[in-house]
Amino acid sequence: MSLSLVVFYLLGAVCLGGAVGVVVSRNVVHSALLLLVSLMGVAGLYLLLLAEFLALVQVLIYGGAITIIVLFVIMLTRVQEFRAMKDNPQWPLAVVAALAMFVLLAAAMIKGAPSETTRQSVSFEELGSSLFTQWAVPFEVASLVLLVALIGAIVIAREGGEE
Amino acid sequence: MSLIHFQVLSAALFSIGVYGVLARRSAVMVLLALELMLNAVNVNLIAFAAYGEQVQATGQVIAIFVITVAAAEVGLAMAIILRLFRDRASVDVDEVDLMKW
């Protein structure tokens, strides 16, 4: 077994373990922190896929921004209410649906798997020039999306409402 | 290590997210599970970009867009959850049935 495969299994265990923790944990703060663990595992996978920039973005956006926002909201709402909250009574159905989803996806992927085994790295220069030439218009639209989300979030969360 | 490893991992991550979205009742928990699903999609995209026949940045660029939209979504959803909590003193998604017919 090659070293990269060992690293892959380790990172995969971190990702999936964290993810299972997120969906089964009773405590919402534990869930949020386990999500961070899982997402950092995903950042490791990006490194394994030679996507250094994406790994960096993953750590910055998810580790630095999203987890903080989630923890902020958990602390602004009442924590004890979260703790008492039970799962949906139909959770066995959810297990069945998730398992069916996994079997379907995995079967389709294994059936149609291309046999590529060499990884290629995209250099920072290549990524940047692609982003600002070929993908310039979607890039600008993404900035608009962020602006609209920002304004929308302020309007929705503002104290008072209509005046 | 080949593409199929990453594909199956991302399928597993996505399915765990599906379970979380379906089974949890707290809106915050549903949102966390949604983040897992978005990340599974990103793993798939970047794996295909890395194992593609020729070198191209497309997969990584689209993954960047997915991360952008995920950030916008979390910001908005958290604002909605805060508002919901203030108006109804609850974050149970079963109780939000105002627009249900």
| Residue-wise burial string across A128-142, b where 16 or more C-beta atoms lie within 10 A, e elsewhere | eebbeeebeeebeeb
Residue in the structure block whose two tokens are 């960047």: B64
Residue A108 belongs to some domain of the structure? no
Tell me which of A76, A122, A126, A130 to substitute to probe the interface with B (most B C-beta atoms closer than 10 Å): A122
Whether A163 shows a pLDDT value over 60: the answer reads: no
Q: At A134, phi and psi to the nearest 5?
A: -65, -35
Same domain membership, residue A134 and residue A70: no
pLDDT score for B28? 87
* B29 and A CB contact within 8 Å: yes
What pLDDT does residue A46 have? Answer: 93
- Measured between its terminal Cα atoms, the distance across chain A in Å is 66
Q: Does residue A29 fall inside a structural domain?
A: yes
Task: Note whether A79 and A145 are same-domain residues.
Answer: no
CATH number at residue A36: 1.20.120.1200
Comparing A84 with A8, the larger pLDDT belongs to A8
Residue with tokens 């765990």: B16
Q: Tell me the average pLDDT of chain B.
A: 88
Tally the domains of chain A: 2
What parts of chain B have a pLDDT lower than 70? 101
B7/A109 CB distance under 8 A: yes
Q: Does residue A25 sit within a domain?
A: yes
Amino acid at site A141: V
The token pair that represents B95 in the structure block = 């109780």
Identify the domain containing residue A132 by its residue range.
123-163
In a domain, A105, yes or no: no
Query: Is residue A45 situated within a structural domain?
Result: yes
**pLDDT tens for each residue of A98-107:** 999 999 999 9
The rounded percent of chain A whose pLDDT value lies above 70 is 90
Rounded mean pLDDT of A49-72? 90
Per residue in A129-157, pLDDT (tens digit) is 988 999 999 999 999 999 999 999 999 88
In a domain, A118, yes or no: no
Distance CA A33, CA A47 (A): 21
Verify that A10 and A67 share a domain, yes or no: yes
Residues A7 and A76 in one domain: yes
Task: Tell if the CB–CB gap between B91 and A81 is shorter than 8 Å.
Answer: yes
A107 and B CB contact within 8 Å: no
Are A130 and A58 within one domain? Answer: no
Instruction: Give yes or no for B95 touching A (CB within 8 A).
Output: no
- The chain-wide mean pLDDT, for chain A, equals 87
| All domains of chain B in start order, with CATH | 3-95 (1.10.287.3510)
Residue A160 lies in a domain: yes
Convert the pLDDT of each residue in A68-97 to its tens digit.
988 888 888 865 665 556 677 788 898 999
Query: From CA A42, how far away is CA B36, in angstroms rounded?
Result: 10
The amino acid that residue A148 corresponds to is V
Test the B interface: residue of A7, A49, A137 with most B CBs within 10 Å: A49
Contact A141, B69 (CB under 8 A): no
Q: Evaluate whether residue A110 is within a structural domain.
A: no
Per-residue model confidence as pLDDT tens digits over A13-48: 999 999 999 998 888 888 999 999 999 999 999 999
Is ipTM beyond 0.90? no
